[in-house]
């Protein structure tokens, strides 16, 4: 193929050529998808309907759940449909949409987790000014900034990825992923996107370092709390967020901070799946197990 205009579709990676294994993959992805969507929708409903959770921390948590549902909805339904119909095709526009929305939700996730760390810092280290700093107007502005930043960032990445012509349409991944698409380009324009990718890695590390430094200050502040009950309550609001952050960064590091082979092995595919589904799947579990208010609100939504 001489230029990208001749690429009308891409061929995604199949998990297996055997029909039985394709059905097994469809069932596995269906169960994962239903678990992730239902769990996060339950958190969204609990925060929206329970007045006990109408606070900045839970408002940010609701947006995190929305991002998780959006992220897994970008690629899991398409992968299930391909397995069920015994095909591996995705249109050019569909591939563009996958890159655009996957980067949009993922980058928004990183920014929001950073904001949530700052929210906990203000609540524990500067509680007297918390309501003034994290008021309703400030929360709406923060969320608008998070979503806008994610969208602009995703447009930048998508434009950089598809600006270069493609010499092949065979993607060695079960969804349209930027590193795999860059391998298919046949001009030096992809180097611009590679620079953006490298800068993105440093930006992600910067967010991670900010979160770690923030929690160092939080732990120092918790140590000064006189009562044991007060320290437990402070930590109970921080541990779920900290667990989510480390889960996302660890799985993401295993998936991306290593050489990308030309022919991915089963381990490579498994690591990508873990990176894509583990954080969204664990978020409802972590927050419901470690936070009594969320657990009680979810119980009231379910009528328990």
pLDDT digits (tens), the chain, 304 positions: 444 446 788 988 887 778 788 888 899 999 999 999 998 998 898 888 888 888 888 899 899 999 999 999 999 999 999 888 888 899 999 999 999 999 999 999 989 999 999 998 998 888 888 888 889 899 999 999 999 999 999 998 898 888 888 888 888 888 898 888 888 888 776 677 777 777 888 888 888 899 989 988 888 888 887 777 777 777 777 888 888 888 888 877 776 666 666 666 677 777 778 878 888 888 888 776 666 777 777 777 777 6
Q: Which pLDDT score is estimated for 3?
A: 45
**What is the structure's pLDDT at 228?**
76
Cα 293 to Cα 24, 55, 110, 222, 288, distances in angstroms: 37, 12, 24, 20, 8
Q: What is the dihedral of CA 199, 205, 206, 210, to 10 degrees?
A: 170
For the domain bounded by 4-302, which CATH number is listed? 1.20.1070.10
pLDDT value at position 1? 40
Q: What are phi and psi of 224, to 5 degrees?
A: -85, -10
Q: pTM value?
A: 0.88
Bridge partner residues of 10 (DSSP): 90
For the chain, the structural domain boundaries read 4-302
Question: Are residues 70 and 34 in contact, defined by beta-carbon separation less than 8 angstroms?
Answer: no
| Structure confidence at residue 96 (pLDDT) | 94
Output the pLDDT for position 190.
Answer: 66
Nearest to 5 by CA among 189, 161, 166: 166
């Amino acid at each position: 193929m001489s230029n990208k205009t001749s690429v009308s579709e891409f061929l995604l990676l199949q998990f297996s050529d055997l029909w039985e294994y394709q059905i097994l993959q469809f069932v596995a992805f269906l169960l994962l998808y239903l678990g992730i969507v239902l769990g996060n929708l339950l958190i969204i409903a609990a925060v929206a309907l329970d007045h006990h959770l109408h606070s900045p921390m839970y408002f940010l948590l609701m947006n995190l759940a929305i991002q998780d549902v959006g992220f897994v909805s970008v690629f899991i339904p398409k992968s299930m449909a391909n397995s069920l119909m015994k095909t591996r095709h995705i249109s050019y526009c569909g591939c563009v949409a996958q890159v655009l929305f996957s980067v949009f939700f993922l980058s928004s996730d990183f920014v929001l987790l950073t904001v949530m760390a700052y929210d906990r810092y203000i609540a524990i280290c500067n509680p007297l000014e918390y309501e003034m700093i994290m008021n309703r107007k400030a929360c709406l502005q923060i969320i608008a900034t998070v979503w806008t930043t994610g969208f602009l960032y995703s447009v930048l990445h998508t434009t950089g990825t598809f600006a270069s012509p493609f010499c092949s349409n065979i993607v060695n991944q079960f969804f349209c992923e930027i590193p795999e698409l860059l391998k298919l380009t046949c001009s030096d324009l992809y180097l611009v996107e590679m620079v953006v990718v490298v800068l993105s890695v440093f930006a992600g590390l910067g967010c991670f370092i900010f979160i770690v430094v923030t929690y160092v200050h939080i732990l120092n502040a918790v140590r000064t709390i006189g009562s044991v009950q007060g320290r437990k309550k402070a930590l109970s609001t921080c541990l779920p967020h900290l667990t989510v952050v480390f889960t996302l960064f660890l799985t993401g590091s295993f998936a991306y901070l290593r050489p990308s082979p030309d022919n991915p092995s089963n381990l490579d595919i498994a690591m990508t799946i873990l990176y894509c589904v583990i954080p969204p799947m664990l978020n409802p579990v972590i927050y419901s197990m470690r936070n009594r208010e969320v657990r009680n609100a979810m119980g009231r939504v379910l009528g328990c």
